[in-house]
Chain A
């Protein structure tokens, strides 16, 4: 069983609403990530964090923001949801041992639909 939890699993929301996707891990991992996944496409990195008070933008241009106030918690917020934000959002964590030798541990995702 995964030690990384995402809520909600599914979310349908109207355009313009503010939403926060929750992600928590119990493994004490320093590094955490948010990915966007669309069917048949590769995962795209939206945000990542090296540890508490560290946040970085990923490859994918995004209108979302993240925070890392505690090691175990890495929420993602959309200030104003749009239909283009409809996607699967995956949170992941890993030990930071350099050279990406440590595997990513993924949550089961949040399927977001913006109407």
Chain B
């Protein structure tokens, strides 16, 4: 069983709508959690990093949250755009890095 579980596996939303992606982890000890965006045919690009003491962090229309007690993180995308269509990967770091399988987001016009 993967130590980093993401849900949903895939998601289709209309342009302009908001959505929330989930990441649950069992990795311990915890150092940080990072969200990556991977466009089709490209490598992943870091969106944001959350450390143990941080609850919320925003990067433009992306807002990440972290609950270190329940070992859950979310990535909220506001006012989605067609360019948000991508896979979003959660990576939890401790002694090494553990990757989630990603959520495939499709934004339709």
Contact = CB atoms under 8 A, between A and B. Distances in A.
Interface residues of A, number: 18
A100 B101 contact: no
Interface stretch (A62-70, A71-79, A104-112): A104-112
Interface residues of B, number: 25
Contacts of A109: 41-43
Contacts of B9: 40
Contacts, number: 53
A100 B31 contact: yes
A76 B9 CA distance: 30
Interface of B, secondary structure class, is strand
Nearest to A33: B97
Interface in B13-52: 31-32, 34, 36, 41-46, 49
A106 B45 contact: yes
Contact of A108 (B41, B49, B91): B41
Contact of B32 (A2, A92, A100, A106): A100
Contacts of A4: 43
A45 B91 CA distance: 13
B62 interface: no
B43 A106 contact: yes
